[in-house]
Chain A
Amino acid sequence: NAGVTQTPKFRILKIGQSMTLQCAQDMNHNYMYWYRQDPGMGLKLIYYSVGAGITDKGEVPNGYNVSRSTTEDFPLRLELAAPSQTSVYFCASSYSRIEETQYFGPGTRLLVL
């Protein structure tokens, strides 16, 4: 199993550009998550999904959108990039509820200039 994969690894965006961060998992997990990690701030939940077609906001959803059309994929969309979105983005998945271990991807480093 590849586990949780994320693309791209690194990207530079100009202010106002859009992009999609890709996330895929091959563990047949129902739950998927997007986090952002800022230096010295830990991880903050952006959006999560409990199954295909079901998504919900986390702690910091503004400026982002998600969709979940399949069990495997959970892309994160940035519509109008802002410098405040410079961060490292992690996708994670788990089989079911919170007592289950979350498995993390390697991350996407995004720089908005």
Chain B
Amino acid sequence: AQSVTQLDSQVPVFEEAPVELRCNYSSSVSVYLFWYVQYPNQGLQLLLKYLSGSTLVKGINGFEAEFNKSQTSFHLRKPSVHISDTAEYFCAVSDRVGSQGNLIFGKGTKLSVKP
């Protein structure tokens, strides 16, 4: 069974500062990894995903994440945040076989960007 740990429940940051949202996962098999974003009062939308290949994945809105197999991590980064990045961010994992599309989500990290 897989599990996901998002190490910070809330991250406050000033506008134009860099940010890193941390995600660690646990699994006995190879996995796919995802980051989703939820803006206030909306559903989730995909930021980026790692399926295979290059461990550095680029997503929408200037976000990127790096898959580190040895540390079982998939941290999300942005070099300069905007007010509009204020949202909740969810890391999710799924095994590569047999899950029929089941995603296991972390508890979320609320990013608050202050002017």
Residues of A within 8 A of B (CB): 4, 31, 33, 40-45, 48, 50, 56, 58, 90, 92, 94, 97-107
Residues of chain B within 8 A (CB-CB) of A31 are 101
Q: How large is the interface on B (under 10, 10 to 19, 20 to 34, 35 or more residues)?
A: 20 to 34
Residues of A within 8 A of B43 (CB): 4, 90, 92, 104-107
Q: Taking chain B's interface residues, is the majority helix, strand, or loop, or is none over half, making it mixed? A: loop
Contacting residues, chain B, for A102 (C-beta < 8 A): 44, 46, 101, 103
- Complex Cα distance, B103 from A50, in Å, reads 14
- Do the beta carbons of A98 and B46 come within 8 Å of each other? no
A97, B101: Cβ atoms closer than 8 Å: yes
Report the bound CA distance from A105 to B96 in whole Å.
Answer: 25
Known A4-B43, A99-B51, A104-B43: A45·B107 in contact at CB below 8 Å: no
